């Protein structure tokens, strides 16, 4: 049998895991792997990003749109540390990703060699698992284990660090066996039939039940089971921003968005329901507000795959542990057909108040500066709810999540838990590569866009037909809103003096256009969407627009403000 190098074993391991795309940036300590990658370019497509952070965000976007494991690769030292923000983002948002970093030779470890960094120590708090390979014989087993851990149970990022000598070392034999089990790691907890029966009793006897769902429904591929559950039980249901798109936006039992900038009805009525059913969500502080005043009147059921999330933030009455696709299937026969018309009407009445006081003024504005909601409305008018939306972090993120219409799952890709500015541009590239058949629209603020603006070069080189919408208000808008409301309008370091984004885009040979008039908006959005290739549309929006409703930090969900 022909001997192969450790570097070739890395590539063959990726091929065995059906990896066909990786995002990365070469360097000295990972060069042997890149040399082998060159030889396998017909089997694995490498996308050269312009910064290693872009590699992780692109891998995240790829994973979220395709449902596969995203892969990022970088060299040692600064290459590895530049991955950390994206790894932390993937960890808190449960995105399956395998990151591969080169490392100095094993005999140099601990010597402060050129570009040596303890990436294992640095990444331990933000990875699901990590491992340093120092011998080529470890490669196949560790890669198999890494992909299994990344994709199984509650998904997450894994990092493999490989010393340079392990990449050069020759192997007499390479044999790859996929991993389906790791001792002491239980990816899916065993379902307790008693918890299902107890939960069903609470559901069947509740007068004012309320469902809050998160990304767990999407990660568990449980959209059908979830829809069956809410339709049979007739329970009003609201989403976290990562749960958005699991069911169509206009479904009659979909009562809107939870959290700091969520809809009026679901936030207000959280503290009036008699049963709160949490499905695949983690009771993040942006959703719960003040925990001392969160749903204290209600019984709480928590459907969850990760035992660590049970009672972490909110004490629950019944924990239904297990894969949500299976637990929802098993509880469905125990649930009675029901309708909660008068209770559902309360959500609709409160949301109608929000429509009159907030939504109509933003979404159907016809004078003054362009609102962010008008831009989303125009996108809705021209995509029929079938596109993938990728958002950065800030006011535009909240507006886009509030107003975008979705018909298909895996359509909303954003940085939820970490709130990473700079996420959207590379993530949109990855999302387009992950699902090339769907339109991918990145909605980005002028601040976040400049954090990873260099990835325009990657989009140009790949010709990925990403549509980029910059909502430009010449401010770090979300921070400015807080400064206006809570710091007496002291706009400390939030006003931006921006470059000419259109000229920069043209410098990357990407078609672009600026809109500063309402009359130009609709036709410009159509032009962007009809263009065959990447397109950047800068929309100059109202400078000091605020996002409402809003729950002030530290307040109860009941204290949500409409103005």
| DSSP 3-state of 355 | helix
- Which of these is catalytic: 8, 17, 36, 52? 52
Mean pLDDT of the chain: 97
- Which of these is catalytic: 3, 39, 43, 114? 114
CATH number at residue 292: 3.40.50.1220
What span, in angstroms and rounded, lies between the C-alpha atoms of 13 and 525? 43
DSSP H stretches of helix in 308-455: 324-331, 341-354, 360-363, 372-383, 395-403, 424-434, 446-449
Full domain range(s) for residue 160? 4-171
167 belongs to the catalytic site: no
52 belongs to the catalytic site: yes
- Which of these is catalytic: 97, 260, 421, 478? 478
97 belongs to the catalytic site: no
For the segment 219-236, the average pLDDT, to the nearest whole number, is 98
The verdict on 413 and 330 lying in the same domain is no
- Which of these is catalytic: 164, 208, 405, 410? 164
CA–chain centroid gap for 170, Å, is 39
The verdict on 152 and 15 lying in the same domain is yes
The verdict on 146 and 81 lying in the same domain is yes
Through-space distance between the first and last CA atoms of the chain, rounded to whole angstroms: 73
How confident is the model at residue 1, as a pLDDT? 66
What span, in angstroms and rounded, lies between the C-alpha atoms of 445 and 422? 9
Could you tell me what percent of the chain has a pLDDT over 70?
100
pTM above 0.85, yes or no: yes
Which phi and psi angles does 465 have, rounded to 5°? -80, 60
Distances in Å between the Cα of 417 and the Cα atoms of 92, 420, 477 are: 6, 9, 19
The 10s digit of each residue's pLDDT in 533-548 is: 999 999 999 999 999 9
The verdict on 129 and 215 lying in the same domain is no
How confident is the model at residue 350, as a pLDDT? 97
Strands of 49-150, DSSP E: 70-74, 97-103, 129-133
The verdict on 448 and 515 lying in the same domain is yes
Distances in Å between the Cα of 464 and the Cα atoms of 145, 201, 436, 535 are: 32, 51, 8, 10
Residue 177 lies in a domain: no
The verdict on 9 and 136 lying in the same domain is yes
What span, in angstroms and rounded, lies between the C-alpha atoms of 482 and 489? 8
Number of residues that make up the chain: 563
pLDDT over threshold 70, residue 517: yes
Instruction: Indicate the burial class of 232 (C-beta count within 10 angstroms; 0-12, 13-18, 19 or more).
Output: middle
The verdict on 124 and 212 lying in the same domain is no
How confident is the model at residue 70, as a pLDDT? 98
pLDDT over threshold 80, residue 337: yes
CATH number at residue 126: 3.40.50.970
How confident is the model at residue 2, as a pLDDT? 85
The 10s digit of each residue's pLDDT in 384-428 is: 899 999 999 999 999 999 999 999 999 999 999 999 999 999 999
164 belongs to the catalytic site: yes
Nearest alpha carbon to residue 375 among 460, 234, 471: 471
What span, in angstroms and rounded, lies between the C-alpha atoms of 356 and 549? 12
The verdict on 132 and 225 lying in the same domain is no
* CA atoms within 13 A of residue 143's CA, in its CB half-sphere: 28
Residue 145 lies in a domain: yes
pLDDT over threshold 80, residue 189: yes
Residue 294 lies in a domain: yes
How confident is the model at residue 553, as a pLDDT? 86
For the segment 126-143, the average pLDDT, to the nearest whole number, is 98
The verdict on 374 and 340 lying in the same domain is no
What span, in angstroms and rounded, lies between the C-alpha atoms of 300 and 232? 19
| DSSP 3-state of 68 | coil
For the segment 338-362, the average pLDDT, to the nearest whole number, is 97
């Amino acid at each position: 049998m022909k001997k192969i190098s450790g570097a070739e074993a890395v590539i063959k391991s990726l091929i065995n895991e059906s990896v066909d795309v990786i995002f990365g940036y070469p360097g000295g300590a990972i060069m042997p792997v890149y040399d082998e990658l060159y030889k396998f370019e017909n089997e694995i497509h490498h996308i050269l990003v312009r910064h290693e952070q872009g590699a992780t965000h692109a891998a995240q976007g790829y994973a979220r749109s395709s449902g596969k494991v995203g892969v990022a690769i970088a060299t040692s030292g600064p290459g590895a540390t530049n991955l950390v923000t994206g790894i932390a983002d993937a960890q808190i948002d449960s995105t399956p990703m395998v990151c591969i970093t080169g490392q100095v030779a094993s005999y140099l470890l601990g010597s402060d060699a050129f570009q040596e960094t303890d990436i294992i120590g640095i990444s331990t708090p933000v990875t699901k698992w990590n491992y340093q390979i120092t011998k080529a014989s470890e490669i196949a087993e560790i890669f198999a284990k890494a992909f299994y851990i990344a994709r199984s149970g509650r998904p997450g990022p894994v990092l493999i660090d490989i010393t340079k000598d392990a990449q050069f070392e020759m192997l007499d034999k390479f044999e790859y066996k996929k991993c389906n089990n790791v001792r002491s790691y239980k990816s899916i907890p065993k379902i307790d039939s008693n918890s299902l029966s107890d939960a069903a009793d609470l559901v069947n006897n509740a007068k004012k039940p309320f469902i809050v769902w998160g990304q767990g429904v999407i990660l568990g591929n449980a959209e059908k089971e979830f829809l069956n559950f809410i339709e049979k039980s007739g329970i009003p249901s609201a989403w976290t921003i990562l749960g958005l798109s699991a069911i169509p936006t206009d479904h009659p039992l979909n009562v809107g968005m939870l959290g700091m900038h969520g809809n009026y009805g679901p936030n207000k009525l959280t503290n009036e329901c008699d049963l709160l059913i949490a499905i695949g969500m983690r009771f993040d502080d942006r959703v719960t507000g003040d925990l001392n005043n969160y749903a204290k009147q209600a019984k709480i059921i928590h459907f969850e795959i990760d035992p660590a999330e049970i009672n972490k933030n909110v004490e629950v009455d019944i924990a239904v542990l297990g894969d949500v696709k299976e637990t929802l299937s098993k509880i469905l026969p125990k649930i009675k057909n029901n309708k909660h018309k008068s209770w559902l009407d309360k959500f609709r009445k409160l949301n109608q108040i929000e429509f009159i006081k907030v939504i109509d003024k933003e979404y159907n504005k016809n004078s003054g500066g362009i609102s962010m909601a008008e831009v989303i409305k125009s996108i809705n008018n021209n995509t029929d709810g079938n596109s993938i939306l990728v958002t950065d972090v800030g006011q535009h993120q909240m507006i886009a999540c509030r107003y975008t219409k979705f018909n298909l799952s895996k359509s909303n890709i954003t940085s939820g838990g970490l709130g990473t500015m700079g996420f959207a541009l590379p993530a949109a590239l990855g999302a387009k590569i992950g699902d090339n058949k769907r339109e991918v629209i990145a909605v980005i603020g002028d601040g976040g866009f400049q954090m990873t603006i260099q990835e325009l070069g990657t989009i140009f080189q790949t010709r990925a037909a990403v549509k980029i919408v910059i909502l430009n208000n010449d401010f770090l808008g979300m921070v400015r809103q807080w400064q206006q409301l809570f710091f007496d309008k002291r706009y400390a370091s939030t006003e931006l003096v921006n470059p000419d984004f259109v000229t920069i885009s043209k410098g990357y040979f990407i078609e672009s256009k600026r809109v500063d008039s309402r009359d130009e908006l609709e036709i410009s959005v159509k032009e962007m969407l009809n263009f065959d290739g990447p397109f950047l549309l800068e929309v100059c929006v109202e400078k000091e627009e605020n996002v409402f409703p809003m729950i002030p930090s530290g307040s109860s969900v009941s204290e949500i403000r409409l103005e």
